[in-house]
Structure 1
Amino acid sequence: MAAKNASAQGFSKEEKENMAVWLVGPRTLQIQPYNLPSLGPEDARIRIKAVGICGTDVHFFKELKMGNYIVKKPIVPGHECAGIVEEVGAGVKHLSPGDRVAIEPSIGCWQCHTCRQGRYNICPELKFFSLPPVNGALANYVVHPAKNCFKLSDTLTFEEGALCEPLSCAIHACRRANISVETNVLVVGAGPIGLLTMLAARAFGSPRILVLDIEDSHLEVAKKLGADGVIKVSINIDEVEKEVEKIKVAMDGKIDVSFDCVGLSKTMLTSLQATSSGGKVCLIGLGHANMSAPLTGNVAAREVDLVGTFCYTNTWPLAIELIRSGKIDVKALITHRFGFSQKEAQEAFETSADDGNAIKVMFNL
């Protein structure tokens, strides 16, 4: 028997005709059928209720690539997601149909050295919703390992459940950088990840946080969410030296950790030069696959540690608790909402890609 708690009437017509948004070309989306894999004994079938658009989704939408990941065939986007459990496999004990869950989209092999160490995010066989060639969650239904599904309390919305994913990126980065009550922080980039990193750093105890961005609207949101200071910067790499001086004045010359939430040569150069000697630069953003930065004079001569982050490990319980307790308000990041239709899917991605005022664009299915 492959599953328990299945409806005695079998699947409905709607369940059989699972539909998804497919990225079929640059800036081209189509809603088409999506045949799900069969339900395994440790899986759950989930009716998706909320999906957020991530910066990686936008990269693929615009260019069919991000870093070393390339879309070579049509793919379902979306990995920030939450929904309702419809059916569980026979081996699943912690979930039942009707449970509301936030979904961790990454799947390690659980056999390799890094997985056995608990660092499944860097598993060489990692599978991840919407990272080619794995399909994502912008669909009526998905099948996913049940252990990657975390119950939501009744007080949390599906949108909050979906935003556990980007918040998890921020939590993982704060853990990697050892943020504490003694850590002054610079956040470079006030997009969703930058803003959530700011909120997570505050929740981890950081007493002072400065945020940089090129958009006034994003900096306004950062101020509303509690940034101690904001500075508007340019995209011109020749302006770094002048901007770093402003940053140092604003932070009294003490920046223990800089989070590069963009991932460009300019943002990395700013982060390295602004960070105090003996501090850390944590790279979160994946803007460019290759960056150029003066490592000798910073990483070597000033012992500024350069720390990489990729996704997250074991963060969902903390993310859910930070939202449930009110320590982090993720709803404040949602600027646009769309339904599940051909027209709205296209409009949602165009908005996320081109509207400078958009921060988090959310689908409600």
Structure 2
Amino acid sequence: MKALRFHSAKDLRIDEIETPPDPGPGEVRVENRFAGICGTDLHEYAYGPIFVPREPHSFTGASSPQVLGHEFGGVVTAVGRGVENAREGDRVSIQPLVMPRTGDYYAARGLFHLSSELALVGLSWNHGGMSEAALVNDYNVFVIDDGMTDRQAALVEPTAVAVYACDRGGVAAGNSVLVTGAGPIGILALLAARASGASQLFVSDVNDKRLDLASEAVPGVVTINPAASDVGDTLREATEGHVGCDVAIECAGSEHALKACLDSVRKQGVVVQTGLHPGENPLNWFDVTFKDVDIRGSWAYPTHYWPRVARLITSGQVPAEMIVTRTVSLSNAIEQGFDALLDPTGDQLKILIDLSQ
């Protein structure tokens, strides 16, 4: 079968690889339908390996070349012995986190996403979504109903990241929320904040095209280009008491964006760091203390979020498909997908790969 594999930085290939074998105990084989290209995939392509292990992964044994794709869904074609949560013919969305289920401090507490042995399907597992089929664990498979489309099934994963970021920030009805970074996660965070009841939404980005896309996806959001306007001043001018926003969610992985969040949030507000930073970030810790703020990390999502996030999507409360700007075939995914998203002047946001083409 065909698969898009990471070999090294700037070296992605459409390879012919073996079809996954019949599933063993606790395993499920899936015929993939749609896979999303994530910012993490782009970073691997541009600068990797980052999450793709250089040596065999300590838990899964996976190593490069790696089939990419951790945002995907499909149809179950076979199940192994002991699998009770899915059967052949079920349409599914894949929760890609792989980790020890027992004998781990965090697993014992249901915090599987915090395991030190964590791996991801499509980054540190022998299979991924950017291929015609994948073999996964039964706990990676969530059956979806007729209310969810195959395209939406591939969007549960990034939406879960955004929903968890809002939960980490404690976003509540009537809140004012700033999101820095109008990429897919940033726009999904805006949609999730709105679904949580936020009444004032702001988004900042240096790319005006992405700000326009944010306005289309989230009507009424106030867009700010920090190259033209000071983010903190804009927030203070627009919020009650001119004190700044209740919650600021950083989704850009940018030093300047995080500083803008700290400047923009009110005293005793919350800053949530969602974007992955490439290195250390000097922050004004006097302001952290003086403003009495909380700074919280937001890593991935608890695995039990899947049904909740699927309901948010199918109900229309978080219309995740609004972020999709293009669909490509697997054979065209490198040039029309990865390269298009890495173009700093491009107008693409989220690109899905249609594995049936």
| Selected match of 1:158 from 150, 157, 176 | 150
One-letter amino acid of the structure 1 residue matched with residue 347 of structure 2:
N
| Selected match of 1:172 from 160, 164, 167 | 164
One-letter amino acid of the structure 2 residue matched with residue 338 of structure 1:
V
Cα deviation for residue 135 of structure 1 reads 4.8
Cα deviation for residue 65 of structure 1 reads 4.1
Instruction: Describe how 1:1-365 pairs up with structure 2 within 5 A.
Output: 18-35=1-18, 36=20, 39-66=23-50, 69=51, 72=54, 73-111=64-102, 112-132=104-124, 135-224=127-216, 225-234=218-227, 242-251=230-239, 252-295=242-285, 297-313=286-302, 314-341=304-331, 343-354=332-343, 356-365=346-355
Cα deviation for residue 247 of structure 1 reads 2.6
Cα distance in 2 for residues equivalent to 1:70 and 1:233: 33
Cα deviation for residue 298 of structure 1 reads 2.3
CA deviation digits over 1:50-96, x for unaligned, max 9?
00000010011111144xx3663322211110100000112112211
* Residue pair 1:211, 1:227 contacting (<8 A) in 2 also: no
Cα distance in 2 for residues equivalent to 1:109 and 1:267: 35
SS of the counterpart of 1:257? strand
CA deviation digits over 1:127-151, x for unaligned, max 9?
1123347653211111111222111
Cα distance in 2 for residues equivalent to 1:215 and 1:264: 14
Cα distance in 2 for residues equivalent to 1:134 and 1:173: 29
* Residue pair 2:204, 2:231 contacting (<8 A) in 1 also: no
Cα distance in 1 for residues equivalent to 2:22 and 2:277: 36
SS of the counterpart of 2:340? helix
Cα 1:121/1:229, change in 2 over 3 Å = same
Cα distance in 1 for residues equivalent to 2:196 and 2:324: 23
Cα distance in 2 for residues equivalent to 1:189 and 1:227: 17
* Residue pair 1:229, 1:250 contacting (<8 A) in 2 also: no
* Residue pair 2:273, 2:297 contacting (<8 A) in 1 also: yes
Residue ranges of structure 2 left out of the alignment (5+ in a row): 55-63
TM-score, normalization by structure 1:
0.88
Cα deviation for residue 231 of structure 1 reads 0.8
One-letter amino acid of the structure 2 residue matched with residue 85 of structure 1:
V
One-letter amino acid of the structure 2 residue matched with residue 127 of structure 1:
A
RMSD: 1.9
* Residue pair 2:235, 2:245 contacting (<8 A) in 1 also: no
Cα distance in 2 for residues equivalent to 1:334 and 1:92: 33
Cα distance in 2 for residues equivalent to 1:144 and 1:289: 32
SS of the counterpart of 2:330? coil
Cα distance in 2 for residues equivalent to 1:108 and 1:248: 43
Structure 2 match to 1:4: none
* Residue pair 1:259, 1:284 contacting (<8 A) in 2 also: yes
Cα distance in 1 for residues equivalent to 2:259 and 2:316: 35
Cα distance in 2 for residues equivalent to 1:287 and 1:105: 22
CA deviation digits over 1:247-295, x for unaligned, max 9?
3213343311100001221111111111111011000001423212112
* Residue pair 2:91, 2:144 contacting (<8 A) in 1 also: yes
Structure 2 match to 1:12: none
* Residue pair 1:80, 1:164 contacting (<8 A) in 2 also: yes
Deviates more, 1:149-158 or 1:101-110: 149-158
Cα distance in 1 for residues equivalent to 2:235 and 2:126: 41
Structure 1 match to 2:61: none
Deviates more, 1:33-42 or 1:169-178: 33-42
One-letter amino acid of the structure 1 residue matched with residue 135 of structure 2:
V
One-letter amino acid of the structure 2 residue matched with residue 303 of structure 1:
D
Cα distance in 2 for residues equivalent to 1:37 and 1:259: 42
Cα deviation for residue 233 of structure 1 reads 1.7
CA deviation digits over 1:283-332, x for unaligned, max 9?
0001423212112x122222111100111012111111011111121111
Cα distance in 2 for residues equivalent to 1:99 and 1:151: 6
TM-score, normalization by structure 2:
0.90
* Residue pair 1:215, 1:356 contacting (<8 A) in 2 also: no
Equivalent pairs counted in the alignment come to: 339
Structure 1 match to 2:59: none
